[in-house]
A and B are shown apart, each in its own frame.
Chain A
Amino acid sequence: MNKYIYMDNAATTKVDDKVLDVMLPYFKEEYGNPSSTYSLGVKARVAMEEARAYVAKTINAEDKEIFFTSGGSEADNWAIKGVAYANQAKGKHIITSKVEHHAVLHTCEYLEKKGYEVTYVDVDEFGMVNPKDVEDAIREDTILITIMYANNEVGTIMPIKEIGEIAKAHNIYFHTDAVQVVGVLDIDVKELNIDLLSMSAHKLHGPKGIGALYIKRGVKIDSLIIGGGQEKSRRAGTENLAGIVGMAKALELAYSDNTERNIRLIEKRDLLINKIMEAIPHTKLNGHPEKRLPGNVNVSIRFIEGEGMLLSLDMMGIAASSGSACTSGSLDPSHVLLAMGLTHEIAHGSLRLSISEENTIEDIDYVVKTLAKAVERLRLMSPLYEDFIKGE
């Protein structure tokens, strides 16, 4: 089988050729250390600062407010732990949601063990945080609100503007994990009252291992990685220059036509959703029907378990992901789907297909056809389906 259809772009993406081209010189030609004072180092520094300026511009921040990290998880860890440590004299309470990425959720749980208190606000059936719940959770000692910009599993886009206004009105720092959103939606940190924002390059056809944290000027935050004076002495370690240059290029490409691309992606996304619903009975769309990421499809297919679906799709050359426990190695299925009120059984049968521009209409047809066949086969093996049919 020659066909290979990659529909897991929310997990990671293929590096764009144009991104790779701008990165390559920084491995063997322009390999200087940006901290060095000779010309090779200076050239590296100039390239790095140009990239920083570009990253800053894309979210309407200032150059000095962008700090490169090893990726989204480091940025999340830094934002949450850094603010928690630096502001503990003011308070030790943090507000987040039940559907955050594990980089946020597990960092909050870690801080709970260190004596902090965390409120995990609920979400509705679409995975949406209600800003009022955030406001109601605010206490005297609240130091940070951290709510993701859009959910990585179900694609729901959160009411970030409203939450930003609430945080500003109460004078509380607001962090958002925007890993799924940077390069997709236009972001203006000033307009949205965002104090800290995490981003990552590999979700937008950039390289893995590079990301950034936006830290608004004046935000009190401790450093996590201590050592040399890189990143204005706030994040030690020789900079990943090839990654930084690649990240800026990936952002440039992503934002060169994001509005038009989103329209095209939404059309394909909704086509994929509708075709799945038509072809496979007893299927439910997870996440918000409209306020969702342009490339995200997440469905629960009843009576079967997700890993079997993924195996079947993989054998037919299709890459996807699932919120099933069996794919994560943990006992419970996706915390996001459970927080949305899905039963364990239905959460185990979830499937996420995240599309990119590379996916064609033919790909969509092939995926739906292949999926429908796999589902039919697995349902015929399922005792839950048998019970359902007999009960009808």
Chain B
Amino acid sequence: MYSEAVMDHFTNPRNVGELENADGIGEVGNPKCGDIMKMYLKINGDVIEDVKFKTFGCGSAIASSSMVTELIKGKTIQEAMKISNQDVAEELGGLPPVKMHCSVLAEQAIKSALQDYSHKTGIKIEGLEDFDFTEPEH
């Protein structure tokens, strides 16, 4: 059912954990639908120096979280803003249609953490003001 990349990221997820004194923390999803993603960002200047995640969810939710952290680590905020759920799914070698919402959650988790950073620092991030965090359809 899952690609090799999904199984790899599920079995050996990258960047699991928490960051003390994180500059931005984002949490999306809810236990009702079975997925919660929490992202921690360490930002220096406009570079995402470190990122960690914690996820409650199925195999593809864990793999999507892991993949998105790899994609944004070391990138600038503007580069991270450009990463879409499609990028996450593609890098994972594709997700089954019923699991595409996991990649949407991963994208939203990053944006939610960036929004938190923006609120805390007052630094405006283009494209975040009108970002829609509504729960993706399963």
Nearest-CB distance from A197 to chain B (Å)?
A: 35
The reply to whether A386 and B31 form a contact with Cβ atoms under 8 Å apart is no
In the bound assembly, the distance between CA atoms of A380 and B13 in angstroms comes to 11
Tier of interface size on chain B? 20 to 34
Q: Which of A325-371 contact B (CB under 8 A)?
A: 325-327, 329-331, 333, 343-345, 348
Instruction: Say which residue of B27, B58, B98, B99 sits within 8 Å of A383 (CB atoms).
Output: B27
Q: When the two chains form the complex, which single residue of B11, B16, B36, B98 contacts A384, counting CB atoms closer than 8 Å?
A: B36
Interface positions of B from 34 to 69, Cβ below 8 Å from A: 34-38, 54-59, 61-62
Bound CA–CA A329/B137 (angstroms) = 12
Q: Which of A304, A311, A325, A343 is within 8 Å of B56, CB to CB?
A: A304
Return the chain A residue nearest B37 by Cβ: A383
B32 CB–A CB distance under 8 Å: yes
**Counting CB contacts under 8 A, is A315 at the interface?**
yes
> Are the C-beta atoms of A311 and B13 separated by less than 8 Å?
no
CB of B33 closer than 8 Å to a CB of A? yes
User: What DSSP secondary structure best describes chain A's contact surface?
Assistant: helix
Known: A343-B31, A383-B38. A308 touches B58 (CB 8 A): yes
Contact, CB under 8 Å: B56 / A383: yes
Residues of B within 8 A of A386 (CB): 18, 38, 54
Instruction: A303 to B38: give the CA distance in the assembly, Å.
Output: 14
Query: CB distance B32 to A326 under 8 Å?
Result: no
Chain B contacts with A in 2-30, Cβ cutoff 8 A: 2, 7, 10-11, 13, 16, 18, 27
Contact for A348 among B11, B34, B38, B62, CB less than 8 A:
B34
**Of all chain A residues, which has the CB nearest B11?**
A315
Given A311-B10, A315-B11, A331-B138, are A382 and B55 also a contact pair (CB < 8 Å)? yes
Inside 8 A of B31's CB, which chain A residues have their CB? 343-345, 348, 384
CB distance from A247 to the nearest CB of B (A): 31
B57 close to A380 (CB less than 8 A)? no
Set of chain B residues within 8 Å of A306, measured between Cβ atoms: 58
Expressed in whole angstroms, the Cα–Cα distance for A386 and B52 within the complex equals 13
Contact A305 B34, CB 8 Å, known A324-B58, A383-B56: yes
**Interface on B for A, CB 8 Å cutoff?**
2, 7, 10-11, 13, 16, 18, 27, 31-38, 54-59, 61-62, 98-99, 138
* 20 pairs, A vs B, C-beta closer than 8 Å: A305-B35, A305-B58, A307-B59, A311-B7, A311-B10, A311-B59, A315-B11, A324-B58, A326-B34, A326-B57, A326-B99, A327-B58, A330-B138, A344-B31, A380-B16, A381-B56, A382-B54, A384-B31, A386-B38, A386-B54
Seen from chain A, the residues whose Cβ lies within 8 Å of a Cβ on chain B are 303-308, 311, 315, 324-327, 329-331, 333, 343-345, 348, 380-386
